[in-house]
Structure 1
Amino acid sequence: MNKLLTFALGVCLTCIFASSAMASNDIVTASDHEAVLEIAKGFGSADLSTTGKGTPVLKGRMDGTKYAVWFAGCSDGKSCSTLQFLGVWKIKDFPFEKVNTWNAQKMYTRAYIDKDGDLILEMDVFMRYGMTKKNLEEMFDLWQTSLKHFSQQLSQSTQP
């Protein structure tokens, strides 16, 4: 009986460790540039490049809207901690009231007008310790929905 109990306990521990190891393979961090790119490609076109300073940046298009994902908090383009999703519109004199309404009603994204007068939609995703691929796909889905709704609001606001 004692041998059977020891065997059963060994099998249970093996299963626990195996599932833990499998789960860690499903974790993506902001340093996994290629893994982030592959997820982005599931939502539209996307390419990965680097800035002159070596910072990785993903540029893509979802439903016709251009966007970028900056890999932030990096050391020499590596060990990144955050993904910063950005949409930029060259719309001058966009009403601040519309920006404020968006920010008051939305939880994960924020809109603002930058120093050049461009309209910005932004979403930050902290990933220092990673997240599952499924959760990152959900973040991209949230971004796609936000881009769509924001673009709709822009088209309504710019019509005479």
Structure 2
Amino acid sequence: MNAWGKLAIGVAAMVASVPAAAQTVQGTEPETIMTALREAGYRAALSKDNVGDPVIKSGAAGVDFSVLFYNCTEHKDCKTIQFYAGFVKKGRSLDTMNKWNAEHRFGRAYLDDEKDPRIEMDLDLDKGGMSSALFKANIATWESLLGDFQKAIDF
């Protein structure tokens, strides 16, 4: 066997030895989300929300945000997550939120009950999750949305 053949077998063996969970980000395993966040250069701290579901606290674009877990069975085995950030900035209008939503495909902005602006982005991790690379691409999208949203609500 030539050197190229041996190299190919060695690479195949290394790839096969990497556990599937290490390659996949899953809502059923919050640690995989924390790992992907940290590998992408973000901080990540796992805790529980007020109903007992997992929540990860992080930050990007100078803004603290949360990764909320949804569609959970008994506070685990969650199927979807949501990136969420809230701002205390009175005086923002529905017109500002509607304009932002019309110009941004992947995020969703609104005013809460106290008229403070909020932004969210959902990810479906059901049926096996997603690759770490795709998750990191979604994190980059989220960070970009956060920056654009801050510009839209700052005046």
TM-score, shorter chain, exceeding 0.5: yes
> Against the structure 1 CA distance between its residues 128 and 21, is the aligned structure 2 distance closer, same or farther, given a 3 Å change threshold?
farther
Alignment of 1:37-116 (within 5 A): 37-41=34-38, 42-116=40-114
Residue type matched to 2:104 in 1?
Answer: K
Structure 2 residues without counterparts, runs of 5 or longer: 1-11
Q: Deviations over 1:83-142 (max 9, x none)?
A: 111110111120222111111111110100111222110101011111111111111111
Structure 1 residues without counterparts, runs of 5 or longer: 1-14
Larger Rg: 1
How far has the Cα of 1:66 moved from its partner? Answer: 0.8
Q: Does 1:143 align with 2:142?
A: yes
> Against the structure 1 CA distance between its residues 114 and 132, is the aligned structure 2 distance closer, same or farther, given a 3 Å change threshold?
same
How far has the Cα of 1:19 moved from its partner? Answer: 7.3
Distance in structure 2 (CA, Å) of the matches to 1:154 and 1:51: 27
How far has the Cα of 1:31 moved from its partner? Answer: 1.3
Q: Which secondary structure state, in structure 1, belongs to the residue aligned with residue 72 of structure 2?
A: coil
Q: Is the 8 A contact 2:25 2:36 kept in 1?
A: no
Q: Could you tell me the percent identity over the aligned residues?
A: 26
Q: Which secondary structure state, in structure 1, belongs to the residue aligned with residue 32 of structure 2?
A: helix
In angstroms, what is the RMSD of aligned CA positions? 2.1
Distance in structure 2 (CA, Å) of the matches to 1:86 and 1:52: 15
Number of residue pairs matched?
A: 140
Residue type matched to 1:135 in 2?
Answer: L
Q: Is the 8 A contact 1:43 1:62 kept in 2?
A: no
Residue type matched to 1:137 in 2?
Answer: K
> Against the structure 1 CA distance between its residues 79 and 21, is the aligned structure 2 distance closer, same or farther, given a 3 Å change threshold?
farther
Distance in structure 2 (CA, Å) of the matches to 1:60 and 1:19: 30
Q: Which secondary structure state, in structure 2, belongs to the residue aligned with residue 45 of structure 1?
A: coil
Distance in structure 1 (CA, Å) of the matches to 2:18 and 2:33: 19
TM-score with structure 1 length normalisation? 0.79
The aligned counterpart of 1:154 is: 153
